[in-house]
Structure 1
Amino acid sequence: MSPRSPRARLSSILVAAGAVGCALASLGDARAGWPPPRGADMRDKANWANDYDARWNYASFLPEQQPGTPPYLEADKKLGASGMSIDRAWTYTIGKPTVKIAVLDSGIHWEHPDLVNKVALNRGELKGDKRPKNEQGNECGGAGDLAGYDCNGDGQFTMADYAKDARFAGEVTGEHCFSDGDRTIKKPNRPRGDFNRNCILDPGDLLQIFSDGVDDDANGYKDDIAGWDFFKDDNDPYDDTRYGHGTGEARDSSGEGNNGIGDIGVCPGCTFVPMRVGDSFITDVNDFGQATAYATDLGCKVIQEALGTINQTAFSKAAIDYAYSKGVIVVASMADENSRHHNMPGAANHTLTVHTVRYTGSNPNASSTFLGYDACSNYGGQLSMSISGTRCSSEATGRASGIAGLLFSMAAEKNLDLTAEEAIQIFKMTADDIDVAESRSTDEEVSGKLYYSKAGWDQRFGYGRANAFTMVKAIDEGRIPPEVDITSPEWFTPIVAGRGPAQITIQGRVSARRALSYDYRVEWAPGIEPDDAQFKPLQTEKTNIPGATVSGGGAEAPLGAFDPAQIDTAHKRDADSKLGENDRTITIRVRAIAHYAGFDVPGEARRTVAVTNEKNGGDKDLLPGFPMYLGTSLEGSPKLADIDGDGVRDIIAPASDGQLHVFTMRSGTPVEVKGFPYRTRVIDGLSSDVADPAVPSYLSAPAYSQKSSGLAAGEVREALLSAPAVVDLDGDGKREIVFGSFGGTLYVVDSQGKDLPGWPKRMPAVPSCPLDPTKPAASPCMDVRSGLARGLYGAPVIVDMNKDGKPEIVASSFDGKIYVFKVDGTSLDGFPVDVHHPQAQKRSRVFTTPAVSDVTGDGIPEIFTGSNEQVGGGGNAGPLFAINGLGNKAPGGPYLQNWPAVMTSFAIFPLVAEGVTSSPATADFDGDGREDALFQGNGAAPLLLPADPGAQTAFGEPPNRLPRFKEEDGSERRGLEPTAVFGELSKAYRPDTMFPLFSQPAVGDIDQDGTPDVVASGASLSLAGSLTGGSSAPKNAQHLLAAWSGKTGKMLPGMPYVIEDFSFLTNHAVADLTGDDYPEIITGTGVYMLHAVDGCGREAAGWPKFTGGWIAAAPAVGDITGDRSLDVVVGTRNGYLFAWKTAGKDDGVIQWESFHHDNANTGSAATKLDQGVLKRAAKPLDVAACAAPAGPAASEESLGGGGCTCSTTSDSVGARSLALLPFLAGLVAAFARRRRAAR
């Protein structure tokens, strides 16, 4: 039977389900007439699959509107469809099982009924007796590659073929099987073949019985029967923590159809390969890169990645290029924060980036448009496509991958070997243009409800909404676009005139091998979404090029070039760049037309970059040799210290490719110090030196054994994502550097780049817990009750922990412990300490960098830390720990009295924003001579606590919180003032409420009153409203930087300050950069800018500094040129290291010089810096002392997104504070939407 018909397959599923005792009463018969023939009326239910029910985002027609609903917008009427016309595409193909979609995500729930028979089983590992047998125990039938595998005769090899195999059929009496997830007993007798004990026959059972440690197909992956786990480096991609995101992704693209259960995937005839690259969608990009290489070698046609990786390396980019070169399309998520920051790995070359558009009413039938921007999705220059859906970019990735599966299936039916670029071009060139005239209306009552769109490409909608029907029809009719590809400059490259080549070449490729001939032109225009009329040619248009001729193709044959000094970037700011984010942006565009006999087909590629030159003000403070491209993302914060012994600070810069750089400015430009860069260990799987038999090697895989692949396995090293510590550990007068890798190795090297004895030291492995709960488990192990892993993110902290005059190394770990090591690598007695709250939902990682300070007066510092553990029913609180410096040896246990405490902290993202992941700090806020602890959660005001926070009642705030402040009426207030009360001179739009989010707090006496102040950055109530709206109505969306007086708890006069974007994981520096004796807060954002703002809300002259990239690292401040002036150094996730000179002096006010305060990362304001002073100003910086900030107060017009449209019953502080909780809960729900497909 043809793979297009699932009837035989369904019957086999029912047999298999019956064999394991599944209830089948709810299953309907397969609809015999499905899929329908070409030309079928898709409004007719007779043409629907029995599990379809006309999903609005699949439909090729507009639904009937409910009475009272405003009429459809003209754009919707013109397009005539609510969705992507997937239903009509099914009349051409429902997909082919030979078209495999690789799902790179959190793993798979093996037991899901819509997926159990959709996993592409690897016949190469299932040979001989591993093949299925029929009821009589004989070899099965099948033709060609399926010979001996197709037991049920449905034309493919799936788990259903094992249904009647005696090794799997029947039950085992007395052996229980369990409900996956909670592992409670579900049935007293397990099915005979149910070796993973989840009460159903699934591919995971094949792994249990047939894994023998032999690489039967010699592809470099032993026993890769049903995918691979690159997170744990084994052959079982099971989602052991039950996060579910990967399972949802597989359902979106590949869920079985017409089987009467669940929900139909976009490509129900395709198969998928589960590949685990993390325990959530936030992952290490090197695991993504390995999975991409594997998927390519395995013959997958689509790579589906709804990820947000914490890094981007040359290896990950090369892996994408490898897939692209082999005809594999990488469908990538734009991310889900209504921002333009550059999500990784999708911001690389050769990806199809997607997000969602949706209906704008309460339901599809109550909507007047299906072209609404989904406010939880990202946008920007790299956006390719809009995909209909309501679950943000994650759903978009799954649905688009399914469409890609249909596309490749149609090409297979037409015997077309489609390239990746042809597939990308078909997506773009056949899209339904989202051109909503109402969004450009002069009537704000009309346009104010819609995000701006226009004809052609725009940053909120890309090339438009995907149309699956026009895509497969284009294949059927042979209307294949030309291949148009730009490879350099890379996305968002910051080009500074005079700091590089005089001519910037545009490298790429244009070809049209199927056409008679083609034309192409290369052009540019200022801005991110210029109109066609604004584009200017960069070369003379090329015409009538023979189709077989390739234009471009490398550095020696560029498609065009331009002189950056001559580029005029001036343009009217676009609707989404009202803070000047894209003032220096230009768009490069290559357009081609392929000429066939009787018709033409267009193709296009775009590239967004930034140009800084004298025409737009330049950057006179940028030091020579900068920006410097390091070839990999720079999430780790730099440090400034003298390593080479010349008396001047050097730049210590950790990079995500595992290289620790040390640069000296001795020659006037940055030069690597001898012995550096130091390189971390090669990652598991790609190292030739690992002797542990439990660690596999992939080096014999084609991607790594063939030099032509471009993948240098031996250079793929553990990522450095956090700040190093730079301290003289051994008393020889020379500084050592201590740093940890995300893979879980702690390194200590000397000033020559050599390992100290006893180092490096790798953290203990944390395996998955056994699926069979009757088997013994390692302790710790990872499962639904334990989110522990091997890894390090918190920076190492150096402090004397035992009063012997020698420093120790404090490290927080992903296995939920705090370690303390001596310089020789041995553990300090009493450590490690288990970091665990007794009421936590499950054990979890420690992501924070601890703060250390002696708050008890015994001469031994205590350790303060948060944890990723979640406390409370909703998990929207996190624990706070104060660990006795004696650790487990402390008489009363490892925690101080009344610790751990708990604070409100919303679980928004896995790993980076769950529990309390912001690193604490310490400072003396109450003037008693001992430091207090500062904690920051997600969505709550910072919390200041003394050594004894007092007994906490339920989840109320600890009673002894600081500061204690007497109001004018004589009443006492404890804690910071409500965050809805802004400083008098703040330019932020009001009424609104600021709340810290995603960032790391800092401390500094910003107002120079002698008491440390609190610095935090984050979001606002208006931003939460924007994200929770779910539709296209814009809201005021303020990202805010705030500072509170440590003495009064009130916001400083100019606070909060409006910034462009979230400041993910960013810590702030605090130092005087202007020479006026009042320090600035120096902080970066996800959208390009590094700010320097004082307590009055005044930006330093010449600031903010434009970087063109996402800043996640903390800036470092110090003199790196030897002129006694302060310089500022920071890196971007684009891979560029920047350094600027300032008017500040190294003997001026410096409060917080780099990540976590100092080069030892103590987080303690009491740690003496070796530069600057703490106080110099003659008088405190109060409202009277502040000159009025320049510029008008913020308004709906001056802030991106406009004013706050949310309403409250009162603008009083109390009402606004009470309103915060439901809006934050909504914010959590908005970000959680990306996971719903897994339910």
Structure 2
Amino acid sequence: HELDLIIPNGNGDVNAWRPDGTEVTGFPVHTAMLGSIDPLNPQNFAASAYQTATLKNVRDPISGGAAVGDLFHRGELDIVATTTNGYVYVWDGHGKLLPGFPQHQDSANWQPYTAVPTPRAPTGHSRNPDRGNWSPPVLTDLEGTGQLDIVMTAFDGFVYAFRPDGSTVPGWPVQIELPASYFTPAGGSVDPSSYIRDPKLMYPVTVADVLKLGHPQVFVPSFESSGHSSSTEALGKALLGVDPSSQAASTWLYGLYADGNNHPGGAYIHAPDGSWPVTVKSADFAYDQSIDFVGESTSPPDVADFGSGPRLITGPVTGEVYSIKPDGSIDLRFNAACTSADCSALPPYRTGDTHTLVLTGMGGLGDLFNTGTPEFIMNNTGLESITASLSVPGTANVPQVYEKAWDPVTGQVLPGWPRRVDGFPFYSSPITADVAGLGAGRSAIEGNDTYWIHAFQASGVEAPGFPKYTGQWQAFSGVVGDPLMNGQLHYVTPTREGFVFNWTVAGDAALNNSWWHYRHDEHNTGAYGVDTRRPASVLDLRAPGGSATPLVTWTAPGDDYMIGTAAQYDVRWSNTPITSSSFWSATSLSGAPVPLVARSTQQMPLRGVSGSTVYIAMRTLDKAGNISALSNVVCLGSCGMSGAASIARSSLPVVARTLGGAGIDSGMLAGFVLLVAVSTPRFRRHRWLAPRQR
């Protein structure tokens, strides 16, 4: 049993590395050449410079990342990746591109704006729709078929949804644009002359059925802004005691129905279910073109039920953190105070901070205290220190960055937090896992742009073995997983320079179930508690013989790989060899036992089989309906050997291991990587003694 490392990167490649660092058969796979997508992108490919080998074979970068899921719900996981040019690719566990892919955003939504001269946007700072994507795909069952649809945001202002066969989900794509009712001519509060329309959707959606409708709702932050802001200079004056009397900026968080435009009354969540989009107010600005992609919008929400129903938690740029109810009303504004020892001044470099604001990065949830209720963690910047460093004349301060954790029930900052860190995270979120091994809960782990990776325990104390230093920018999140399923956790993170670092860390693998991957899980749902990890495949199915009634025995897998207890076994037989695809047409056997805890020995009598040659195989399911990969196949009878009375051979199918592990994101330039299992089990065990480069 192993998990492989799936690594999309800015070269347009997807690698799949086994735990020993070797490539899985069938990988790497690749996106299309840029020249075949657009001969003039990024510039004239006929130019002499592009005839060199280094520049000629330029592929569509995978800037958003990847997801892994059992798209067809048949026990075989697929790898889904989105590219800089707005394409969606899907490969199976053998590296084969699935029929119907790649798919891409509709050119009718952006191509008219490529004319020369460029059409002007309606208001200052507004932008035109464009081709592109910079967010990972999200997998969810929009239609209730049991299969996973693929949801992608794009720079043209639309949210796209594709079925596993590549066809468009009915009712999609959905355009994200502020309704007319929000503007002053219709009685709203937004002045049309100052409204900033930036259609690009950079962040991934969040999917969760917070309204309990039987299908997930889709939540997406827009990059629109009211156009009002209190400048950083005015904010600096306010900190000095002068009231600038400025109006706060606003951006919006949208909630969509699963059937999109086909929903009666429109795609946006509306009465009686609620009122969306939600206006999210910032303390300073919500749109800053000087740091495009960073100083804009509100973070993709994290969803969890903290005891009084689902809540969506988001933080707008230069604002506080909000907890939002399913109907769109504001539940809480989290405490912005900065009162820990780390908030104190350090002259002449830092002024000290009394409050913090969201600026870069995203949030994450994690059960730090192991109580069953998660805490919310998000990177913030110090209010006074960043104001002094940018806007107050005569000062040369360093803006201070903090890792901050709150109790989401009360909105209060946890004791011992915030913790001072060395730099800004950008397109990442903290992940949570036990990397301390002290039996004291989980740690919040996040890297930053000064090459350090911190792991803070629930008390705010740094975990043993941290911080870690890469000498390179961790522009994205890492992952924690158990690649050999032997209880030894690894923390793996890629860097913007294209290296992948792999450390063994202490900790209980059973506690790696909180927020182990960017956007929580391998589907990138952003929803706490979603189970996307299936049982490990049975690899030692055997027929020992010697009993009056033939039977098979095996070692029980767990609910999540080899941890916990699975829900049920599906054992089948056939007179012809069973493969991953033919398993579903084989005959089911009754009498399978209830699964025991992982690593227990179980057995089952074989009643009702017939024929001179009988093949037996099984799959395991967990409570969430996740299906394991196919077991090894046992053959009883002749099996090509005369006189064989019991087991004659045990053959391993092509895919006899779990595809889909503890996902990780990040990668070269703007990619994301995942831990999944796509290769035949191997039992060589090696440690990577140095970072591996892509």
TM-score normalised by structure 2 residue count: 0.66
Match of 2:95 in 1: 753
Deviation at 1:1174, TM superposition (A): 13
- Whichever residue aligns with residue 891 of structure 1, its letter is P
1:248-306 CA distance string (max 9 Å, x none): xxxxxxxxxxxxxxxxxxxxxxxxxxxxxxxxxxxxxxxxxxxxxxxxxxxxxxxxxxx
Shift, 1:761, TM fit: 1.0
Q: Which has the higher strand share?
A: 2
Q: Which residue of 1 aligns with 2:630?
A: none
1:1153 is the counterpart of 2:510: no
Distance (whole Å) between structure 2 residues aligned to residue 1174 and residue 786 of structure 1: 49
Name 2:104's counterpart in structure 1: 762
Question: Which residue of 2 is the match for residue 679 of structure 1?
Answer: 30
Aligned residue among 299, 324, 331 for 1:961: 331
Alignment of 1:305-324 (within 5 A): none
Three-state SS of the structure 2 residue aligned to 1:711 is helix
Which residue of 882, 891, 912 corresponds with 2:255?
A: 882
2:303 maps to 1:922: yes
Residue 858 of structure 1 is matched in structure 2 by 213
Residue 768 of structure 1: CA displacement? 5.5
The one-letter amino acid paired with 1:698 is: N
- Counterpart Cα distance in 1 of 2:41 and 2:408: 51
Quote how far apart the aligned CAs of 1:1036 are.
5.5
Percent identity, aligned pairs only, is 28
Select 2:412's aligned residue among 1050, 1056, 1076. Answer: 1050
The match for 2:462 is 1099
Whole-angstrom CA distance in 2 between matches of 1:680 and 1:772 = 29
Q: Distance in 2 between the 1:781 and 1:818 partners?
A: 22
Aligned-pair distance for 1:796?
0.7
Aligned counterparts of 1:872 and 1:723: Cα–Cα separation in 2: 31
Among candidates 1138, 1142, 1146, match of residue 501 of structure 2: 1138
Q: Aligned pair in 2 of structure 1 residues 782, 1144: CA closer, same or farther (>3 Å)?
A: farther
Give SS of 1:671's match.
Answer: coil
CA-to-aligned-CA distance 1:590-640 (integer Å, 9 cap, x gap): xxxxxxxxxxxxxxxxxxxxxxxxxxxxxxxxxxxxxxxxxxxxxxxxxxx
Counterpart for residue 400 of structure 2: 1038
Does residue 287 of structure 2 align to residue 912 of structure 1?
Answer: no
Gaps of 5+ in 1: 1-646, 951-959, 963-974, 1176-1239
Counterparts in 2 of 1:873 and 1:1131: CA distance versus 1, 3 Å: same
TM-aligned CA distance change 1:858 to 1:696, over 3 Å:
closer
Q: Quick one: distance in 2 between partners of 1:1042 and 1:895?
A: 32
> Compared with structure 1, are the counterparts of its residues 1111 and 1026 closer, same or farther at alpha carbon in structure 2 (3 Å cutoff)?
farther
Secondary structure at 1:672 match in 2:
coil
Deviation at 1:1173, TM superposition (A): 13
2:203 is aligned with 1:848: yes
Partner of residue 141, structure 2? 800
In structure 1, the residue corresponding to 2:444 is in which secondary structure?
A: strand
The answer to whether the 8 Å contact 2:207/2:525 transfers is yes
Deviation at 1:770, TM superposition (A): 7.8
1:569-588 to 2 correspondences below 5 Å: none
Q: After the TM superposition, which residues 615-1014 of structure 1 pair with which residues of structure 2 at under 5 Å, given as runs?
A: 647-665=1-19, 669-683=20-34, 687=35, 689=36, 698-705=44-51, 707=52, 711-714=54-57, 716-765=58-107, 766-767=110-111, 769=113, 785-838=126-179, 839=183, 840-874=195-229, 876-896=249-269, 897-905=274-282, 906=285, 907-909=287-289, 910-916=291-297, 918-925=299-306, 927-928=307-308, 930-950=309-329, 960-962=330-332, 975-977=333-335, 979-982=336-339, 989=345, 991-1014=353-376
Shift of 1:873: 3.0
Match of 2:429 among 1055, 1058, 1067: 1067
Q: CA deviation at 1:1148?
A: 2.2
Contact preservation (8 Å) 1:831, 1:887: yes
Q: Specify the SS of the correspondent of 1:724.
A: strand
Per the alignment, residue 253 of structure 1 pairs with none
Name the aligned partner's letter for residue 161 of structure 2.
Answer: V
Contact kept, 8 Å, 2:523 with 2:532, in 1: the verdict is: no
Judged with a 3 Å threshold, the aligned counterparts in structure 2 of structure 1 residues 803 and 1039 are, in CA distance, closer, same or farther, namely: same
Note the residue ranges of structure 2 that are not aligned, 5 or more in a row: 184-194, 230-247, 346-351, 534-559, 565-694
* Closer/same/farther in 2, CA of residues 1053 and 760 from structure 1, 3 Å limit: same
The TM-score with structure 1 as length reference comes to 0.38
CA RMSD of aligned residues (A): 2.9
Contact preservation (8 Å) 1:852, 1:861: yes
Kindly indicate which of the two structures has a greater share of residues assigned to helix: 1
Distance 1:1008 1:693, change over 3 A: closer
Identify if the C-alpha distance between structure 1 residues 1172 and 901 changes in structure 2 by more than 3 Å, giving closer, same or farther: farther
Contact 1:1149 1:1174 in 2 (8 A): no
What amino acid maps onto 1:670 in structure 2?
G
How many Å separate the matches in 2 of 1:786 and 1:673? 43
Q: How does 1:283-294 map to 2 (within 5 A)?
A: none
CA distance in 2 between partners of 1:655 and 1:1092 (Å): 25
- Please tell me whether the aligned partners of residues 986 and 1057 of structure 1 are also in contact (alpha carbons under 8 angstroms): yes
Q: Is the 8 A contact 1:1148 1:1173 kept in 2?
A: no
1:214-363 equivalence runs, <5 A: none
1:661 aligned partner, one-letter code = N
- What code does the residue aligned with 2:257 have? N
Report how far residue 914 of structure 1 moved: 4.6
- Aligned equivalents of 2:113, 2:467: Cα separation in 1: 49
How many residues end up aligned between the 2 structures? 489
In structure 1, C-alpha distance between the alignment counterparts of 2:201 and 2:114, rounded to whole Å: 23
**Where do residues 511-590 of structure 1 align in structure 2 (5 Å cutoff)?**
none
1:693 shift after superposition: 8.4
Aligned pair in 2 of structure 1 residues 737, 857: CA closer, same or farther (>3 Å)?
Answer: same
**Retained in 2: the 8 A contact 1:678–1:753?**
yes
Name the SS for the 1:1156 alignment partner.
coil
Q: Aligned pair in 2 of structure 1 residues 1134, 739: CA closer, same or farther (>3 Å)? A: same
CA contact (8 A) 2:228 2:250 kept: no
Letter aligned with residue 207 of structure 2: V
User: How many Å separate the matches in 1 of 2:227 and 2:391?
Assistant: 27
Shift of the 991–696 alpha-carbon distance from structure 1 to 2, 3 Å rule, reads closer
Residue 460 (structure 1) aligns with: none
Q: For residue 1125 of structure 1, what is the aligned residue in structure 2? A: 488
Work out the CA distance in 1 between the residues paired with 2:402 and 2:385: 10
The whole-number CA distance in structure 2 between the counterparts of 1:1168 and 1:731 is 14
Name the aligned partner's letter for residue 682 of structure 1: M
Paired position in structure 2 for 1:1187: none
| Change beyond 3 A, Cα 1:1006–1:982 | farther
Instruction: Report which of the two structures shows the higher radius of gyration computed on alpha carbons.
Output: 1
1:1015 aligns with 2:356: no
Contact 1:807–1:823 under 8 Å retained in 2: yes
Cα deviation code 1:1142-1184 (max 9, x no counterpart): 1113212531011100000000003125349999xxxxxxxxx
Letter of the 2:250 counterpart:
A
Whole-Å Cα distance in 2 between the matches of residues 1012 and 700 of structure 1? 55
Letter of the 2:395 partner, please give it: A
SS across alignment from 1:1147: helix
Structure 1 residue 699 displacement after superposition:
3.9
What is the CA distance between 1:1120 and its match in structure 2?
A: 1.6
2:90 & 2:401 partners in 1: Cα distance?
Answer: 38
* 1:901 alignment partner AA: V
Report the Cα distance in structure 1 between the residues aligned to 2:420 and 2:296, rounded to whole angstroms: 26
C-alpha spacing 1:1093/1:785, structure 2 compared with 1 (3 Å):
closer
